[in-house]
Chains A and B, each alone.
Chain A
Amino acid sequence: MASGPGVNPESGLNSAVRRVPVARLEEVAPGTMFMVQVDGTDILLVNLNGTIRATQGVCSHEYFELDRGFLTADTLTCALHLSRFDLETGEALDPPAELPLATYPATIEGGEIILELPEGPIPVNE
């Protein structure tokens, strides 16, 4: 199970981490979502009152793009079956989803949104 970048799920060891700029801050207005791709993997960016949260881009329950879903307070509701996730921890709050969304630390530097991702495949829960 994925749990944050840089942690190898198998060995639990910290492997190398890379910092990837994925978008400009102005592309993700407060209260909106924006989907980006890194190495072909969908990643969802959400601007919650100025803080950027980044999670895997597809639902952990059924393959479905989360940017088609709804922002409900500080949580994200998938449009497909209304699973709901905490955007900070990725925790699944409402069924049918049980697995959390993988989350990736995001920082803003010089107007750019930078994600901390592990080297190698990007962890996604499904």
Chain B
Amino acid sequence: MTLTQRQMVDNDRSRFDFKDEIVYLTETKRGLTRDTVEEISAIKEEPEWMLKFRLRAYEHFLKRPMPVWTDGLDRINFDKIMYYRKPSEREEKSWDDVPDQIKATFERLGIPEAERKFLAGVGAQYDSEVVYHSVKEELSKLGVVFMGTDQALKEYPDIFKKYFATVVPPEDNKFSALNSAVWSGGSFVYVPKGVEVPLPLQAYFRINGENTGQFERTLIVVDEGAKVHYIEGCTAPIYATDSLHVAVVEVVALANSNVRYTTIQNWSNDVYNLVTKRAHAYENSRVEWIDANTGSRKTVKYPSIYLRGRGASADIISVAVAGKGQHQDTGAKAIHLAPDTKSRIVSKSVSKDGGRATYRGHLKVAPGATGVVARVRCDALMLDDESRSDTYPYIDIQEDDTTMTHEATVGKISQDQIFYLMSRGLTENEAQNLVVQGFLEVFTKELPMEYAIEFNRLVKMEMEGALG
């Protein structure tokens, strides 16, 4: 398969000019039926195999019960949700409709004007062409493919079909089944053998109306010896239509490759953010999930790595900040299936004002996976007694030479530290903020500078309760 020089972002919207003969969405445009799934596939003009895939996933979604081990998901009303919006049909909100608080947040985070409108759902398009152009050229010279998943299905069918849904099958859980049935948008990245992508790929670069779609599906394939850093999200609050975001991210790290996937997400406070993200790491590859969760009403996300090849290594750094009315149900999974593999999981959570932070971890060393070294460290900071912190690790070791250690602590900010900082002239709030930032530093120091700055600002705002 040859990678031709193509436009990385297809700003040609003509493919979305629907002819009237094409099947219409049902009248109500809400709710999910088999017809909806078929229509989505038809509108996208997908190959037969993808339609079959979606339908099989839909059947599974119907029969799979709702998970009971985490609460509140039964509040989601699947019948009220609109499962597909044609970009041309996207509701254009007026800037006046955007809540003041959101506007204020943009102000404080220093988000440029044009971006603000986009992020607030005002305007279907954010034209990042200018920033993007030179990046596009550099990438295409390297043979790197970076485009929307919908587009990749059409333009790179062989590689797409080879890897799609191999890391997260639809039957994995109820929400991966839902995503598999109605997915739309998301990124596809392919890095050819030996290529080191010199700059982080940011989802931003390809922004169009579908990017922050509810059911996005991302697939990243990094070929042997290649290296890439992918960043998604941003610190500004993101509206999800219908308050539901069900995404799937699959990463395939072939032998000797190196992949880092950074997520900073700050969903608005009414959103259910349910994500299945998993990587398969082959021989001597290295996969890193750097994951921050703030905002949302409830986030359920456990970045996972299956270490399939000898010598592979996994690094998962996850932070969660749970404020008032929020439940961050996050964690990490490292599944060792091959010898001499290593994993390190670091989880830091902060809960305040009645927020709830939950860590769920799964560490498994299967027979045959000799010489494994695995370390887990999860620390939780609770800022007041309204909040709650839970830790649920599962550690299943089936080889006798595994070295595994797991430490978890829960505590509050040391009053001594606060008094000391206050005696240096900080207000109590500032002191608390500084301590929390220190607590989260293991995460922040992994971020590119501009993200780190934004993230720290975000944490500061959370601490002040400025984000309601």
Residue positions of A touching B, CB distance < 8 A: 62-64, 68, 70-75, 77, 79-82, 84, 94
Contacts and interface: CB of A to CB of B under 8 A. Distances in A.
Q: Majority SS of interface residues in chain B?
A: loop
A75 B367 contact: yes
Nearest to A69: B337
Nearest to A81: B172
A5 to B, nearest CB: 27
Contacts of A72: 337, 366-369, 398
A74 B367 contact: yes
A82 B171 contact: no
B59 to A, nearest CB: 11
17 contacts: A64-B169, A68-B169, A70-B306, A70-B308, A70-B337, A70-B366, A71-B368, A72-B366, A72-B368, A72-B398, A73-B367, A74-B367, A75-B367, A80-B171, A80-B172, A82-B335, A94-B396
B368 A63 contact: no
A75 B396 CA distance: 15
Given A72-B337, A77-B337, A94-B396, A84 B366 contact: yes
A75 B337 CA distance: 11
Contacts of B398: 72
Interface in B297-321: 306, 308
Contacts of B368: 71-73
Contacts of B337: 70, 72, 77
A104 B337 CA distance: 26
B33 interface: no
Nearest to A63: B171
Contact of A79 (B169, B364, B367, B396): B169
B166 interface: yes
A62 B63 CA distance: 12
Nearest to A77: B366
**A70, A72, A73, A74 pick with most chain B CB within 10 angstroms:** A72
B409 to A, nearest CB: 28
B64 to A, nearest CB: 9
